[in-house]
Amino acid sequence: METKLVHAGVAATSTELLVVFAVNTADKKVPDAKAVIELVHSDPALKTATARAFDSGEFTAMSCETLLLHNPEGLAAKRLLIVGLAAPGRKKATVHELRKAAGTAVRFAKPRRIREATLVFPTSADLDARQTGRALAEGAVLGNFDSDTYKSDRVDRTLTTVNILAGNGMDSALIEAGVQEGIIVADAQNFARSLVNEPGNVLTPTVLGRRAAEMAKTAGLKAEVYGAEKLHELKMRSFWGVSQGSAEPPALIVLTYEPENYKPGGPVMGLVGKGITFDTGGISIKPADGMEKMKYDMAGGAAMLGAMQAIAALKPNVKVICVVCAAENMPSGTAQKPGDIQTAMSGKTIEVMNTDAEGRMVLADGITYAKNLGATHLIDAATLTGAVVVALGLINAGVFSNDDETYAQFASGLEVSGERFWRLPVEEDYRDHIKSSIADIMNTGDGRWGGAINAAMFLKEFAEDTPWVHLDIAGVAWIDKAKPWMASGPTGVAVRSILEWARSYGA
């Protein structure tokens, strides 16, 4: 899809679908629509074209609500789509609502065979021009993604062009920079989604390694992809233990970004991703119901690869190392068993209480390796626990950190990314939960409670003193039900937040 900024008058713009955004400025729950709908644009022609529709009261401008008008009065556009931005009482448009609204417009157009659309850039003075340009482009590109890639009768309904229409007098350099950034970021997020969407028989650890290397080559990143031998050489017994039951060899994927004229000495960001291409649970096998979903157990790794693609294009002034630990967790005659003890690369011994707690085991060695490669700050992402879904549902992902300053830096990036994370604790009092009677630690907690925290405590043992952020994205990496702005399937969550965090160290 081509997404570009155009300058023209609204009324004279010929387009299949002109998209304009509106807010509901009511204080009340059930608004009097006549009085409260306001376009986020001051163009008089748009005001005239929408007046009767707004007067009818059938449109209340709620978040992602749509109203379509054919042959709108006084406009050259074939159709006018009005997209709502906010619930009553919120009054002002936000860039995060605009991202969703742009996606909603694209997803409205797709099934109706509309191939081209023009989004009218809002004139509201409260909106930052660059962030708004970015949000509109991001929303549009993300909305254009669908996960039906393996349907033999698939009809490609992707939009070919989305123009963003800015008026004269707007700061076009800022908007243009935002639009370009939005395209880069959303393409990176869609790349992550395309990986997560692949079934386990297609996307084996080796294939994930190949796809990462291909992306790295195109993006201009250094890539190394290692197999089982390297795991043995590095003494990654924890990582290897997970993969040993599978006929598919593991892959240790290492991508490196160095800014131009890089001088060693500054911070080095270490991005570590869980890349379980299929999680059966291993010998502690999962129930059959819903097991097919476990192809998305590499979503954390995919998020890191997506973030690297965007980093390569946006070129922050900081070195970034990405380590993805890819393996298939299978039961077999060679699989690890409950009670086995593995010695991790760091030297710590782990009692394997449950072979389904495999994500933390591959990440343990990934974290140690990233530190050995020079990472001074760590972030990991993983579909790590069912417990985080119990705690936070399908809206927020969990975030954990051993360092308040590093967490604050991550949290400030959320204002740009618009992604939702909720901090959970990793206080030392929880350490008892992962104590083993035979080894240094065990890979599950000793009770039913606080499972997401126990997993984070396990990872903390390997981050040690290095500032570290852990993202448990199990509840939000996949959606079964489509949203108005996003297809069902992989969400590509965390790409944007990881990117902002890494960038914030090299601004």
Closer of 50 and 243 to Zn ion (Cβ):
243
Question: Is 295 noted as a catalytic residue in this protein?
Answer: no
Closer of 358 and 500 to ligand BES (Cβ):
358
Closer of 79 and 295 to Zn ion (Cβ):
295
Q: Which does 198 bind (CB under 5 to 8 A by kind): Zn ion, ligand BES, none?
A: none
Helix (H) or strand (E) holding 166: strand 161-166
Q: Which does 380 bind (CB under 5 to 8 A by kind): ligand BES, Zn ion, none?
A: none
> What are the tokens at 36?
């409260």
Closer of 297 and 419 to Zn ion (Cβ):
297
CB of 280 to ligand BES, least distance (A): 10
Closer of 316 and 445 to Zn ion (Cβ):
445
Closer of 94 and 444 to ligand BES (Cβ):
444
Q: Which does 506 bind (CB under 5 to 8 A by kind): Zn ion, ligand BES, none?
A: none
The Cα–Cα gap between 219 and 201 comes to 26
CB of 297 to Zn ion, least distance (A): 4
CB of 440 to ligand BES, least distance (A): 18
End-to-end, the C-alpha distance of the chain in Å comes to 30
CB of 283 to ligand BES, least distance (A): 12
Helices (H) and strands (E) in the chain, counts: 14, 20
Pick the catalytic residue from 47, 90, 235, 286: 286
DSSP 8-state secondary structure symbol assigned to residue 177: H
Q: Which does 36 bind (CB under 5 to 8 A by kind): ligand BES, Zn ion, none?
A: none
Residue 292's CB is within 10 A of a number of other CB atoms, namely 11
Closer of 162 and 361 to ligand BES (Cβ):
361
Question: Is 211 noted as a catalytic residue in this protein?
Answer: no
The Cα–Cα gap between 224 and 319 comes to 16
Q: Which does 387 bind (CB under 5 to 8 A by kind): Zn ion, ligand BES, none?
A: ligand BES
Per the rule left: phi > 0, alpha: psi between -120 and 50, beta: everything else, 223 is beta
Closer of 162 and 327 to ligand BES (Cβ):
327
> What are the tokens at 172?
């076009």
* Helices marked H in 315-423: 359-372, 386-392, 404-417
The Cα–Cα gap between 381 and 474 comes to 10
CB of 195 to ligand BES, least distance (A): 16
Q: Which residues touch 471 (CB under 8 Å, ≥6 apart)?
A: 300, 303, 379, 380, 381, 382, 397, 398, 399, 421, 494, 497, 498
Q: Which residues touch 450 (CB under 8 Å, ≥6 apart)?
A: 387, 430, 433
CB of 339 to ligand BES, least distance (A): 14
CB of 135 to ligand BES, least distance (A): 28
CA angle 429, 431, 433 (to 5 degrees): 105
CB of 297 to ligand BES, least distance (A): 5
Pick the catalytic residue from 79, 100, 110, 360: 360
Buried-exposed string 72-95: b where 16+ CB fall within 10 A, e elsewhere: beebebebbbbbbbbbbeebebbb
Rounded to 10 degrees, the C-alpha dihedral 163/168/174/177 comes to 30
Q: Which does 26 bind (CB under 5 to 8 A by kind): ligand BES, Zn ion, none?
A: none
Buried-exposed string 362-397: b where 16+ CB fall within 10 A, e elsewhere: bbbbbbbbbbeeebebbbbbbbbbebbbebbeeebb
Output the DSSP codes for 209-263: HHHHHHHHHHHT-EEEEE-HHHHHHTT-HHHHHHHTT-SSPPEEEEEEE--TT--
CB of 364 to ligand BES, least distance (A): 13
The Cα–Cα gap between 404 and 387 comes to 23
Task: Please identify the residue of the shown chain whose CB is closest to the bound ligand BES.
Answer: 386
Q: Which does 451 bind (CB under 5 to 8 A by kind): ligand BES, Zn ion, none?
A: ligand BES
Q: Which does 354 bind (CB under 5 to 8 A by kind): ligand BES, Zn ion, none?
A: ligand BES
> What are the tokens at 28?
């009340």
CA angle 74, 75, 81 (to 5 degrees): 120
Which residues lie near ligand BES (CB under 6 A)? 279, 297, 354, 356-359, 383-387, 389, 444, 451, 474
Q: Which does 142 bind (CB under 5 to 8 A by kind): ligand BES, Zn ion, none?
A: none
Which residues lie near Zn ion (CB under 5 A)? 276, 279, 297, 356, 358-359
Closer of 146 and 356 to Zn ion (Cβ):
356
425, 472 Cβ separation under 8 angstroms: no
Catalytic residue annotation: 286, 360
